[in-house]
Structure 1
């Protein structure tokens, strides 16, 4: 339940971070006060603080795959709190694209989880 987050210290990036803006917006939409924020300047610092300090962090899943696999961190799904943000892949309109880059772009076109 999103309201359960109100009493927890939240590890977050600096003001202006896209992840922080999205999380703050969603929490405010649920009436959750943002009074206990621990602000850190890097994803690595947030991960270390979460592993060693027991606080809650908001991070992109891809940034914490090693810690999840090692059991150092666990995902906490929060019902009715959808936190997703669209990202785009960009490149120059003309010019050579190396085969590894083309292979990567091909992977991006696969359905989620199919790779």
Structure 2
């Protein structure tokens, strides 16, 4: 089907990978899952092409890179908000054990 649509081999492979990763993740509500899929696709492209992205994939790679940054920021905001909710009460300092020894001056 993808061949009949006129898509190049690189784009076809990218779309198939996207579908396989998306099937394994809950992309509807989970920002972290979306970030994982985009990161995995980006890393696979880099490894497969030894860091030299073919011309036919440059636009898709740029888009994935932009999305990776946006999704990482959104995921981090969610993590930081959850951490802030967890740490609303003051955190006690660790108890001091034995006194520390001073090192002699050199």
* Larger radius of gyration between Structure 1 and Structure 2: 2
- The answer to which structure has the higher strand fraction is 1
TM-score scaled by structure 2? 0.29
TM-score scaled by structure 1? 0.27
- The answer to which structure has the higher helix fraction is 2
Name which structure has the greater RCO, CA cutoff 8 Å, separation 6+: 1
